[in-house]
Structure 1
Amino acid sequence: MSAVRTAEPYNFNPATPPTLRGGTRQVIEPATGETLWSVNLATPADVAAAAQRAEQAQAQWAQVSPREKSEILRRAGNLFSQRHNELALHVARETGGILPKGQHEIREAAVLCHLAASMPLQSQGQVLPSTPGRMSLARRVPRGVVGVISPFNFPVILTLRAVAPALATGNAVIVKPDTRTPVSGGLMIARVLEEAGLPPGLLQVLPGDADVGEALVTDPRVPMIAFTGSPAVGRRIGELAGRHLKKVTLELGGSNSLLILDDADLDVAASNAAWGAYFHQGQICMASNRILVHESMAAEFTKRLVLKARHLPVGNGASGQVALGPLIDARQRDRVHALVQASVAAGAQLEAGGSFDGLFYQPTVLSGVRPGQPVFDEETFGPVANIVTYRSDEEAVALANQHQGSLASAVISRSVGRALAVGRQLKSGMVHINDQTVNDDCVNPFGGPGIAGNGSSVCGPADWEEYTQWQWLTVQDTAPTYPF
């Protein structure tokens, strides 16, 4: 095992393996347009070489004792905590998030490592009933090499939530991070785990484009793919993985609804709606895309939300002085703006925002949103609060369930019983009563139906099912004789 190093400031420029053959790419800070660092890019040939190294490393990792695996992950969690300020600033700058968002990612990284550290010390099988003289066991064994393809929005959390349990259960991992956030989404994690003592070859980071992701999905030495990203790319990965008979977990997107019942406190409701819609510029798979408000209170609620939108400061998130940072790049900004403009053309009313300066998109409020308008039908993934009115609880449920997939829904009401009655009817992977939609405790199932993915197959109780497979083992003192 490699020795634990003394703490020095991380320099991520040389962290990408120098042998990668895809050239280099600059990583741009969204808030300033400045180059943060350059990283080496992988090619499909690099994927094949990494898979071979990972396969060899995994065979050795399987022989490492559970306590030693646990200790490495525990040290990694401690390192995330010890280096909290340094790493949080890296995350904020690379993702364009506000500093508290970067701090949140690093705190959760420590939690994810400590949760994973407990897994090697848990029961890994069952004794099954069998005939006398024979022991019958069902045991969990590693899948081998797990490919992780992660997104730009919460890259530390959304990468590590797969990497940590995969390593804990005895697998090797190859990560393909988004090329816009290769440090937060891979190189940072690899450096921390290396410093914690993870053996070489067990975790490899291959920044690259779609051809690299496709090579990872189709490589025969990678039996499982964990993907977080858009439904369009998820469909392609699911198709390829199915063709190659691979295990695949997909956490995608969809439309999330925050239902505000007619007995709700309007100030509380507006606060929840603003957080759910605007946190990290709305670039969250759980963002409150649709805000359903009873028609009798819609005008007053809209006033409150507009006031918040107009007073939330937008700027360089790493400064610690703003509420919203920039969108990740011009492509994402243009997509958000096109959805807003098309929805206004289709009848929605622009109450606030709807404009941008560079990558800084103003917090936006649209009222009069109805089915058929782009912001109702599609996931905006930007700082846009879409107000939908309804006349009855039944209509609110019907509108909320009018989607192709939903990760999260939420209901706010002074009556918990009434809110629960509504919440039980919502077709989402996660439902929150008296809260907004952006919630995750790291120990809960995470996923949703339809284009949200392939079920609650991420985190918490799902991890053992995802990163291991059952093996039946029987043992007898002597081999029996058979009539043949």
Structure 2
Amino acid sequence: MSEDLLCSGVWQGKAWSSGWNALQGGILDVEEPATGQTIGRVSRANAADVRAACAAARSAQKAWVAMSYAARAAVFRKAAALLEANREAFAAWIVRETGGIPPKAMFEIDSVQHHLFEAAAMLTQPQGLVLPSEGGCTSITRRVPHGVVGVISPFNFPFLLSSRAVAPALAAGNAVVLKPDPRTPVSGGVLLAVLLEAAGLPAGVFHMLPGDAEAGEALVSDPAVAMISFTGSTAVGRRVGELAGRQLKKVALELGGKNVLIILDDADLELAVSGGSWASWLHQGQICMSAGRHLVHRDLAQVYAQRMAAKAAALPVGDPHTAPVAIGPLITGRQVERVDRIVQESVRMGAKLLAGGRCDGRFYHPTVLADVTPQMPAFREEIFGPVVSITAFGSDAEAVALAADNEYGLAAGIYTADVGRGMVIAEQLEVGLVHINDQTVNDNGLMPMGGRGASGNGSRHGGPANWDEFTQWQWLTVRNTAPTYPL
């Protein structure tokens, strides 16, 4: 295969010319959120396709893990090099299919490259421990692959969130079956499949099957799959956990968030506004780490809200493929309706609408709500839209109590001039990620990403967590001579 990985003509709504169109579940039209146009087509997987892929993956896994570590590592390094050579074409798909601005697409590509290099590095890391032993016995414990790992990825950062599970799972010696979100089958699946195939990954080790709930439930329930890695909504995550639990499968759930940004009375207001804007409006707020609640000390709340409203009014909204905008479209019309429902219900309950609160098709304008109380949907529900929700507090203890008044536990940010004060608050927050003097949307391939409560089951992706998630311990003892026993 040439290094021009993406065939010409893919923008004209033609069928994707690849082997992944041999699935039996019909056709998925790839829709551009900004225009509603069909920009490609891929085959849809049904339950029978999933069963066949899982069986094939199980058969291929043993040969994959038996390859030398150098040969396996070379696949990931080659994939990273091919991605660098094709970054503009890959970015164009991410922009058009997800509605994200070009810098967001480039961030995904840079992050995937990082994950690929980290996957290659995993192959030369220690994979076990020598345990205490006596009597001529050697006792070790080692990490061994699960076998087949199923990955279900979301629409918002599809290339990154597929790759961050697929790459380390493969590096750990597993075969992988990926089901990308049906709204982003190219960015979430085809791009990665093309990349790994071109990099020399052996046939059968990785299967990519776009599909809907039928394919997802078949993947979670298949007896050949030993582990499920799911990233998506809390509601669907509960269903995935239920199905996996019936078969006692390992399951990693990275779910939603209603994250808090706490701005204390001694905070640098300019930096807090900058961070808050990023945390709620990046990629239209369609990020699990987005700041869903801005908790601002009452001495700063009014001016903070005013500055946020001024910034919202200045942000350009439009098609990121054709114009230099800051805010692109939401993924579907249904999501626009959900965001607007939360905003309008909160306004009827007494929240002050200072900016936005309106849409043009799938473009929801950046919105600022002040005087939000814990009873309002803007405080309680994950919005997944470009909405800043501001609640005032009077003391550090009240800020901590407001932060805890929610079932989610993913991310938090604290702005303060007193780092010690920030640490005291941070230690009281039951979240997986917390940042002092930074906002909530932070990510890199070395940190263990995941949440608590309704944000996840304590599983993690990234860095040292990859060995924990994608392998299991095996105890091995070796003796020169077998012992005798008294029975």
What range describes the TM-score normalised by the shorter chain of this pair? Answer: over 0.9
Cα distance in 2 between the residues matched to 1:230 and 1:315: 26
So what's the TM-score if we normalise by structure 2?
0.97
Q: Identify the match of residue 437 of structure 1 among 435, 440, 445.
A: 440
What residue in structure 2 maps to residue 196 of structure 1? 199
Are the counterparts in 2 of residues 281 and 382 from structure 1 also a CA contact under 8 Å? yes
Q: In the alignment, which residue of structure 1 is the partner of 2:67?
A: 64
Q: CA deviation at 1:461?
A: 1.3
Q: 1:452 to 1:92 in 2, by over 3 A?
A: same
Q: Aligned residue for 1:390?
A: 393
**Residue 338 of structure 1, CA deviation:** 0.8
Equivalent positions of 1:320-469 (< 5 A) are 321-469=324-472
Asked whether the 8 Å contact 1:253–1:379 carries over to 2, the reply is: yes
1:101, 1:83 → 2: CA distance? 16
Give the structure 2 partner of residue 478 of structure 1: 481
Whole-angstrom distance in 2 between the partners of 1:437 and 1:393: 19
Structure 2 Cα separation of the partners of residues 121 and 395 of structure 1: 48
Instruction: Name the counterpart of 1:86.
Output: 89
Name the aligned partner's letter for residue 347 of structure 1. Answer: G
Where does structure 1 lack aligned partners over 5 or more consecutive residues? none
- Equivalence for 2:295: 292
Structure 2 residue corresponding to 1:26, chosen from 17, 29, 44: 29
Letter in 2 for 1:379: E
1:8 alignment partner in structure 2: 4
- List gaps (5 residues or longer) in structure 2: 11-15
CA 1:16–1:302: 2 relative to 1, 3 Å: farther
1:125-180, Cα deviation, whole Å (9 max, x unpaired):
11112223222121111100000000000011111110000000000000000011
Residue of 211, 221, 224 corresponding to 2:214? 211
Measured in 1, the distance between the counterparts of 2:468 and 2:195 equals: 26
Q: What's 1:139 paired with?
A: 142
What is the SS of the residue equivalent to 1:31? Answer: coil
Per-residue deviation, residues 5-41 of structure 1 (Å, max 9, x unmatched):
3312403712352321001021100112111101100
Q: The residue matched to 1:458 in structure 2 has which SS? A: coil
Asked if structure 2 preserves the Cα contact closer than 8 Å seen for 1:128 and 1:138, the reply is yes
Q: CA deviation at 1:481?
A: 3.1
> What is the CA–CA distance in structure 2 between the aligned matches of 1:411 and 1:335, rounded to whole Å?
28
Q: Deviations over 1:223-253 (max 9, x none)?
A: 1000000000000000111111000000001
**In the alignment, does 2:137 pair up with 1:107?**
no
Partner of 1:159: 162
With structure 1 as the length reference, what TM-score do the two structures score?
0.97
The Cα shift of 1:267 comes to 1.8
What CA RMSD, in Å, does the superposition of the two structures yield over aligned residues?
1.2
* Equivalent residue letter for 1:120: L
Equivalent pairs, count: 480
Q: Could you report, residue by residue, the CA deviation over 1:173-230 in whole angstroms, capped at 9, with x for unpaired residues? A: 0000001101111110011011111011111111111011000001000010000000
Q: Which residue of 1 aligns with 2:13?
A: none
Contact 1:429–1:456, Cα closer than 8 Å, also in 2: no
Alpha carbons 2:26, 2:43 under 8 Å: kept: yes
Q: In the alignment, is the contact (CA less than 8 A) between 2:50 and 2:219 conserved in 1? A: yes
1:240 to 220, 243, 260: 243
Question: 1:16 touches 1:187 (CA, 8 Å); kept in 2?
Answer: no
State the distance in 1 between where 2:485 and 2:5 align. 67
Q: Provide the C-alpha distance between the structure 2 equivalents of 1:253 and 1:119, rounded to a whole number of angstroms.
A: 28
Deviations 1:41-80 (Å, cap 9, x if unpaired)?
A: 0010111100111011101101101111111111111222
Higher alpha-carbon deviation: 66-75 or 470-479: 470-479
Identity of aligned residues (%): 54
The residue that corresponds to 2:265 in the other structure is 262
Give the distance between the partners of 1:242 and 1:141, measured in 2 at CA: 21
Counterpart Cα distance in 2 of 1:443 and 1:9: 28
